[in-house]
């Protein structure tokens, strides 16, 4: 389950930033997860619940912003929704799509007191 290592990285970032701000508690951590990032959201939420114990984030909420997949056709230049990496264009049926968004995985914000 690579979601635990992802959560460990998220918490490392949140804890470092909270400590540098002199915070006593982390209230929430907001992350962006692309639809095609290869992350199982339910597993990520479970791992966050486990990994936050005993830290400044012990009661923190994990807010997940899902970024939909979007791609552009090299042949007809149309932008379309995609949900996998090797999609062909639904508009013209040709070529492969260049993925424009949907692979993101980043900490967007941290709320602290």
Res 1: pLDDT: 59
Q: How many CA atoms lie within 13 A of 36 on its CB side?
A: 17
- Give the total number of structural domains in the chain: 1
Residue range of the domain that includes 75: 3-112
Res 39: pLDDT: 95
Q: How many CB atoms lie within 10 A of CB 98?
A: 12
pLDDT, tens digit only, all 113 positions of the chain: 599 999 999 999 999 999 999 999 999 999 999 999 999 999 999 999 999 999 999 999 999 999 999 999 989 999 999 887 777 888 888 878 888 999 999 999 999 99
What CATH number corresponds to the domain at position 18?
3.30.2320.80
């Amino acid at each position: 389950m690579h979601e635990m290592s992802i959560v460990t990285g998220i918490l490392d970032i949140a804890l470092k930033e909270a400590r540098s701000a002199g915070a006593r508690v982390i209230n929430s951590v907001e992350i962006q997860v692309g639809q095609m990032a290869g992350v199982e959201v339910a597993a990520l939420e479970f791992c966050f619940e486990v990994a936050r114990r005993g830290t400044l984030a012990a009661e923190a909420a994990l807010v997940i912003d899902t970024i939909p997949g979007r791609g552009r056709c090299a042949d007809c230049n149309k932008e379309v929704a995609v949900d996998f990496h090797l999609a062909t264009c639904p508009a013209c049926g040709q070529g492969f799509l260049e993925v424009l968004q949907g692979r993101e995985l980043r900490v967007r914000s941290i709320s602290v007191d």
